[in-house]
DNA sequence: TATGAATGAGGCTTCATTCAT
DNA sequence: AATGAATGAAGCCTCATTCAT
């Protein structure tokens, strides 16, 4: 494995990078990109500003790295969840569970992620956020593939384009998450993925 | 009508305010709150900066006015749509049609509105955006009431809390809109509200 | 008298000017020259800004007019007080009484007057305040003349240059006034001019 | 001595701070607080504006630092002068000498100091200048104590409240200083403190 | 003549980024 | 290699003054 060949120096660097990203993440998710200064991040990460700039070309670069890292975790989790050899219904359940789990682990960034993935962000200059958007779309396509497969297998009714179905499912999960973030006690997050799936399945499943 | 009694001066002022809001809207929705300067807005609106400040106390105030104006239009449209004496299904169709219509008319702001209403924004200092968030929740409750009524009338199955249903419907509409905004030709916006409703109805309607 | 020949129009103008000066005086003395805007003055005087500019060329001009008016009152009062045919001691008593009286009538401006007359002001661009400073010095010379006369008449010991004596007396009066302005109840203003004069007389008077 | 333990870095910082204060002092005393911009100060001190803000939180803070520094020097000088074991008359002489000396060394700020200490200033927002005012009053009380002691020892006649005597003495010194500042050649500053003291002593001293 | 809306220069302050140590 | 002091462009906002009505 490549990982083992990292020298002590390189491992140290990676650790420092992670600390910087963690500090930045914390601040960005609390106050938003434009309300956090590089000095603030440096101080929280306990490095000098100059060191920050050794690791990231500029503020935007740091932000992008942050989001890509997050993206990565999302994708890995979700890919693992749906790549198991299961039937389509079970895959969707796993997807919902995985997404919920990642959210639980990354609570502070959820808003950032939603903003960036859904397009309501202007933190990144035009064109730079394409990568993140594209990766989001790619993971949607994996879900769409499940629906497509389910339709092909006659487990689902063919009531809509699979991609639309995937978008709809993802957006309902996100909406539920936001509801819960805003008022956790009034809108408890459903432990059982079927709470969300029912909305779709009661109609999607063949009789 | 009160409107007719506005003096020429007052009408002129209103028109100027609208021009300022329009310029600001255009810029904000293209570049985001923090990437637009007051000088830029003033120039686009063809007023002096000082004049901008005669109409709006500060940048945040201008932004808030923009969003409230949009809020207003959303609410009026949607209220009118669902207050007709119709059955629940038809009301939901009207809701989707109305929301689509407003979006069509306010294309540039949609991202702004979604960001603010869904919570991924840090443009407004804590506490100031409560009004917008609250009004968003209130309109969701009107939709929830339709679902509740439908459930009570046995037109809908009781598969989930009406508020969740409303949130889910609204989020699916938004997701569809965003899809269309990103790639209008690949993801054309469905003219027929049933395209979206089917997702819910095929399961919600009693057999 | 010229005054009687003022037309109704002219009298009206004069009254308006006085109202503007009164409003400005009130604000300047409360908040200082640089913390008062022309708009504020106009509003308090219940005129339009443009009207203010019909009467005074600019902000500085208005301020200067204010101070000159104040100067005028000081001078008239003090001149009247010391031009009576009295002996020197009585003249100084009259001077202190008159100054006290004017202060009582112009309480809000005292700080302004002291600042300008004593040189601690930067409200007026260099050179413009010369007139005020000069008039202040002129009135000091009138007091100096009293001391000189007293010395010549052997009522006063010749312990210092009369001008220094005048400056000393004026400054002691001002200091007493400031003390009283800062804490009226702890440092009541002396009703009897001899309270101040004693400081000088017990030494000045020939045995 | 603590002073020697300052690192080179700290000494450098202190020197820079002094340069900034010197530049600010020069400008403020020439043109007044409101007629000097931070850009002007930065340029005169030959630093970037941002550097100015590294040392002082804002313009007002810089101004306050300036005055406090001056305050400090005044107080130290005057305290030293009057804490010698001398009789009351000699103490007052020392006080006048010390005050004169400090003034000579701080010529440019004298007007600023007088303005702030005597209350004719609106440069500092309400409440912030209390410290300066209070320290001024405290030093007056030290002088008052000398008079009180002299009265108790029957060296001085009990012709007035000691605090009034202190205020009167201080104000006469200030007035003499201002006279000299305005026209040094016409009103030379008296080298001998007795020139000022005579005004008081000829009456204060018991026969 | 009186008005007050419109102007825009200029002030204060922040902060991303650089670079000498 | 790491540091953080220094930089200065750029942003927000105020307000004296003008001028068309």
Asked whether the beta carbons of C60 and C74 are under 8 A apart, the reply is: no
User: What pLDDT is stored for residue D1 in this prediction?
Assistant: 47
Across the interface, do A195 and B160 touch by the CB < 8 Å criterion?
Answer: yes
Is residue A178 pLDDT above 90, yes or no?
Answer: no
User: Separation of CA B11 and C1' E5 in angstroms?
Assistant: 14
C89–D contact, CB cutoff 8 A: no
Which residue, among D174, D178, D205, has the nearest Cα to D196 in the 3D structure?
A: D174
**CA distances (Å), B89 to each of B96, B150, B200, in order?**
11, 8, 11
Q: Tell me which DSSP letter residue A156 carries.
A: B
Is residue A74 pLDDT above 50, yes or no?
Answer: yes
- Mean pLDDT of the residues in chain C: 84
User: Separation of CA B25 and C1' F18 in angstroms?
Assistant: 31
User: What pLDDT is stored for residue C8 in this prediction?
Assistant: 79
User: Separation of CA C108 and C1' E13 in angstroms?
Assistant: 34
Query: Which fold would CATH assign to domain A67-204?
Result: Tetracycline Repressor; domain 2 (1.10.357)
User: What pLDDT is stored for residue B1 in this prediction?
Assistant: 47
User: Separation of CA C112 and C1' F6 in angstroms?
Assistant: 41
Neighbours of C119 (CB within 10 A): 19
Neighbours of A24 (CB within 10 A): 25
- Mean pLDDT of the residues in chain D: 84
* Per-residue 3-state assignment (H helix, E strand, C coil) for chain B: CHHHHCCHHHHHHHHHHHHHHHHHHHHHHHHCHHHCCHHHHHHHHCCCHHHHHHHCCCHHHHHHHHHHHHHHHHHHHHHHHHCCCCCHHHHHHHHHHHHHHHHHHCHHHHHHHHHHHHCCCCCCCCCCCHHHHHHHHHHHHHHHHHHHHHHHCCCECCCCCHHHHHHHHHHHHHHHHHHHHHCCCCCCCCCCCHHHHHHHHHHHECC
Across the interface, do C172 and D170 touch by the CB < 8 Å criterion?
Answer: no
Across the interface, do A34 and B34 touch by the CB < 8 Å criterion?
Answer: yes
Which residue, among C136, C133, C135, C132, has the nearest Cα to C64 in the 3D structure?
A: C132
User: Separation of CA D38 and C1' E10 in angstroms?
Assistant: 12
Across the interface, do D122 and C34 touch by the CB < 8 Å criterion?
Answer: yes
Across the interface, do B35 and A120 touch by the CB < 8 Å criterion?
Answer: no
User: Separation of CA C52 and C1' E4 in angstroms?
Assistant: 12
Across the interface, do A119 and B164 touch by the CB < 8 Å criterion?
Answer: no
D197–C contact, CB cutoff 8 A: no
Q: Using CA atoms, how far apart are residues B114 and B181, in angstroms rounded to an integer?
A: 12
Query: Which fold would CATH assign to domain C59-204?
Result: Tetracycline Repressor; domain 2 (1.10.357)
Is residue A1 pLDDT above 60, yes or no?
Answer: no
Nearest CA in chain B to A122: B32
Residue of B96, B108, B116, B118 to mutate for A, most A C-beta atoms under 10 A:
B118
The residue ranges of every structural domain in chain A are 1-56, 67-204
Superfamily in which the B63-204 domain is placed by CATH: Tetracycline Repressor, domain 2 (1.10.357.10)
Which residue, among A15, A17, A9, has the nearest Cα to A53 in the 3D structure?
A: A17
Q: In chain C, which residues have their Cβ closer than 8 Å to the Cβ of D202?
A: 157, 159, 202-204
Across the interface, do B178 and A204 touch by the CB < 8 Å criterion?
Answer: no
Asked whether the beta carbons of A115 and A121 are under 8 A apart, the reply is: yes
Residue of B25, B40, B115 to mutate for A, most A C-beta atoms under 10 A:
B115
Across the interface, do A111 and B123 touch by the CB < 8 Å criterion?
Answer: no
**Measuring from the CA of residue D62 to each C1', which nucleotide is nearest?**
E12
Asked whether residue C125's C-beta has any atom of DNA/RNA strand F within 7 A, the reply is no
Residue C104 distance to chain D (closest CA, Å) = 17
Same fold, A1-56 and A67-204: no
Using CB atoms within 10 A of its CB, is residue A200 exposed (0-12), middle (13-18) or buried (19+)? buried
User: What pLDDT is stored for residue B206 in this prediction?
Assistant: 61
C168–D contact, CB cutoff 8 A: yes
Output the six-digit token pair for D172.
């006469």
Top pLDDT among B114 and D202 is at D202
- Mean pLDDT of the residues in chain A: 84
Residues 6+ apart with CB under 8 A from B135: B71, B75
Is residue C156 pLDDT above 60, yes or no?
Answer: yes
Between the CA atoms of B172, B173, B174 and B175, what dihedral angle is there, to the nearest 10 degrees?
A: 50
Is residue A129 pLDDT above 90, yes or no?
Answer: no
Q: In chain C, which residues have their Cβ closer than 8 Å to the Cβ of D115?
A: 115, 120-121
B29–A contact, CB cutoff 8 A: no
**CA distances (Å), D10 to each of A127, D5, D7, D14, D16, in order?**
46, 9, 5, 6, 10
Superfamily in which the D1-56 domain is placed by CATH: Homeodomain-like (1.10.10.60)
D84: left (phi over 0), alpha (psi -120 to 50) or beta: beta
Phi, then psi, of C205 in degrees rounded to 5: -65, 140
How far is C-alpha C147 from the chain's CA centre?
20
Helix, strand or coil, per DSSP, at residue D205: strand
Q: In chain C, which residues have their Cβ closer than 8 Å to the Cβ of D103?
A: none
Asked whether the beta carbons of C44 and C27 are under 8 A apart, the reply is: yes
User: What pLDDT is stored for residue D155 in this prediction?
Assistant: 87
Domain D62-204 has CATH 1.10.357.10: yes
Lowest mean pLDDT among A53-57, B178-182, C147-151: B178-182
User: What pLDDT is stored for residue B27 in this prediction?
Assistant: 93
Q: Using CB atoms, which residue from C159, C168, C200 is nearest to D175?
A: C168
Residue D3 distance to chain C (closest CA, Å) = 36
Residue nearest to nucleotide F7 (CA to C1'): D48
Between the CA atoms of D18, D21, D22 and D24, what dihedral angle is there, to the nearest 10 degrees?
A: 160
Top pLDDT among D113 and A29 is at A29
Residue D119 distance to chain C (closest CA, Å) = 7
Top pLDDT among A4 and D140 is at D140
Per-residue pLDDT tens over the stretch B53-109: 999 999 999 999 988 888 888 899 999 999 988 889 899 999 999 988 888 788 777
Across the interface, do C119 and D35 touch by the CB < 8 Å criterion?
Answer: no
Residues 6+ apart with CB under 8 A from C171: D171, D172, D174, D175
Q: Using CA atoms, how far apart are residues C71 and C113, in angstroms rounded to an integer?
A: 8
B171–A contact, CB cutoff 8 A: yes
Contact residues for strand E with beta carbon within 7 Å: A 35-39, 49-50, 53, 58-60; B 12-13, 16, 47-51, 53-54; C 47-51, 53-54; D 36-39, 49-50, 53, 57-60
- pLDDT per position in chain B (207 positions), as tens? 444 566 777 888 899 999 999 999 999 988 888 999 999 999 999 999 999 999 999 999 999 998 888 888 889 999 999 998 888 989 999 999 998 888 878 877 777 777 666 555 666 665 456 777 788 888 889 999 999 999 898 888 888 889 989 999 988 988 888 788 777 888 777 778 888 888 888 866 665
Top pLDDT among B41 and A161 is at B41
Q: Report, in ranges, which bases of strand E sit under 7 Å from a protein C-beta.
A: 2-20
C120–D contact, CB cutoff 8 A: yes
Binned at pLDDT 50, 70 and 90, residue C62 comes out as very high
Using CB atoms within 10 A of its CB, is residue A125 exposed (0-12), middle (13-18) or buried (19+)? exposed
Which residue, among C108, C135, C132, has the nearest Cα to C120 in the 3D structure?
A: C132
């Amino acid at each position: 494995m490549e990982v083992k060949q990292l020298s002590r120096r390189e491992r140290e660097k990676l650790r420092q990078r992670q600390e910087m990203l963690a500090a930045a993440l914390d601040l960005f998710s609390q106050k938003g990109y434009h309300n956090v200064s590089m000095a603030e991040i440096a101080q929280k990460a306990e490095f000098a500003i100059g060191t920050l700039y050794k690791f990231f070309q500029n503020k935007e670069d740091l932000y992008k790295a942050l989001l890509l890292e997050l993206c990565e975790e999302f994708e890995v989790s979700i890919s693992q969840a749906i790549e198991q050899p299961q039937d389509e219904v079970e895959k969707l359940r796993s997807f919902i569970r995985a997404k919920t789990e990642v959210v639980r682990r990354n609570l502070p960034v959820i808003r950032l992620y939603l903003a960036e993935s859904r397009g309501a962000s202007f933190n990144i200059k035009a064109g730079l956020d394409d990568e993140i958007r594209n990766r989001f779309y790619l993971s949607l396509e994996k879900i769409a593939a499940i629906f497509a497969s389910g339709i092909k297998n006659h487990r689902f009714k063919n009531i809509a384009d699979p991609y639309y179905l995937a978008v709809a499912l993802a957006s309902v999960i996100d909406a539920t998450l936001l509801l819960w973030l805003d008022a956790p006690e009034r809108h408890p997050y459903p432990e059982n993925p079927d709470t969300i799936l029912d909305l779709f399945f009661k109609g999607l499943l063949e009789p």
